[in-house]
C-alpha cells in the first residue's frame, strides 16, 4: 500500500549535498538554523508575492497603469534578490540533477553510496522561479544501479520549514499543471 503524504514528480534541479558527521543532534540543529536564516529570504519573497496575486489582479482591473508599474517594481526587486542570492549561494544557476521530488523527500542518482540512516545538508534550486530550499535530510535508501558506480539515493526531509514545504508543494503543482496542459495541447494538435 502506498503511504505517501505528498505527490511526487520527476524534475530537473540544481542540487548539492554534504554528508554530516555523526554528532550531537543539537549541533546539527543549530548549524541548520543559521544556514536556513541566510537562505530563507528567497522563499519568503516568492510566497509573499503569491499571496498578493488576488489583490494584484484587482488592482490590474481597476488601475492598469498602476498594476503595470507595480509589476515593474516587483520584477526589479526579484532581479536584485536573485543577484544577491546567486552571489550568496553555492548552487549552480542551471539544473544539475534529474530528481524524483516531493514535499517529504527527494531521490537522485549519486556517484557515491551514502550510509543509510546518516544525515545530509541538502540545497536545492527549483526552476524556473529559482526557489532555494535548504534542508536536513536522512538517507532513507541507497541502491546500486547496475554495474556502474551510480547509486539511487532517497533522502527523507527531517528539517524543512513549512514555508519551504509549501514552496515545494506549489512548485510540484505548477509542474503538474504545465505538463497536463502541454499534453492536452499535443493531443489536440494530433487530432
Cα-Cα-Cα-Cα dihedral sign, residues 130, 134, 137, 142: positive
pLDDT at 164 (0 to 100): 86
Give the pLDDT band (50/70/90) at residue 26. Answer: low
Query: 134 - beta bridge partners?
Result: 123
**What per-residue string of b and e applies to 33-71 under the rule 16 or more CB within 10 Å gives b?**
eeebeebbebbebbbeeeeeeeeeeebeeeeeeebeebe
CA distances (Å), origin 75, targets 24, 43, 49, 169: 43, 15, 11, 23
pLDDT for residue 1 is more than 50 = no
In CATH, which of 3.40.50.800, 2.40.10.220, 3.40.50.20, 3.10.180.10 is domain 9-190?
A: 2.40.10.220
* Residue entry with cell 488601475: 63
Lowest average pLDDT, out of 20-34, 135-149, 171-185, goes to 20-34
pLDDT tens-digit map of 32-72:
676 666 555 555 666 677 778 888 888 889 998 998 988 88
Distance CA 136, CA 25 (A): 11
For residue 131, the SS3 value is strand
Query: 155 - beta bridge partners?
Result: 106, 139
pLDDT at 100 (0 to 100): 97
- End-to-end, the C-alpha distance of the chain in Å comes to 37
* Residue entry with cell 506549489: 170
Averaged confidence pLDDT in the chain = 84
Neighbours of 106 (CB within 10 A): 26
Amino acid at each position: 500500500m502506498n503511504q505517501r503524504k505528498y505527490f511526487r514528480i520527476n524534475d530537473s534541479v540544481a542540487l548539492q549535498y554534504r554528508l554530516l558527521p555523526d554528532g550531537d543532534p543539537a549541533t546539527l540543529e543549530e548549524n541548520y538554523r543559521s544556514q536556513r536564516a541566510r537562505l530563507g529570504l528567497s522563499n519568503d519573497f516568492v510566497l509573499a508575492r503569491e499571496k498578493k496575486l488576488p489583490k494584484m489582479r484587482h488592482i490590474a482591473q481597476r488601475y492598469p497603469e498602476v498594476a503595470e508599474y507595480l509589476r515593474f517594481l516587483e520584477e526589479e526587486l526579484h532581479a536584485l534578490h536573485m543577484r544577491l542570492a546567486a552571489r550568496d549561494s553555492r548552487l549552480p544557476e542551471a539544473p544539475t540533477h534529474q530528481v524524483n521530488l516531493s514535499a517529504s523527500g527527494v531521490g537522485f542518482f549519486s556517484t557515491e553510496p551514502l550510509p543509510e540512516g546518516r544525515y545530509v545538508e541538502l540545497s536545492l534550486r527549483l526552476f524556473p522561479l529559482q526557489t532555494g530550499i535548504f534542508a536536513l535530510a536522512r538517507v532513507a535508501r541507497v541502491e546500486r544501479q547496475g554495474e556502474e558506480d551510480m547509486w539511487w539515493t532517497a533522502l527523507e526531509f527531517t528539517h524543512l520549514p513549512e514555508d519551504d514545504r509549501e514552496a515545494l508543494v506549489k512548485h510540484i503543482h505548477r509542474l503538474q499543471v504545465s505538463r497536463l496542459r502541454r499534453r492536452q495541447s499535443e493531443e489536440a494538435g494530433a487530432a
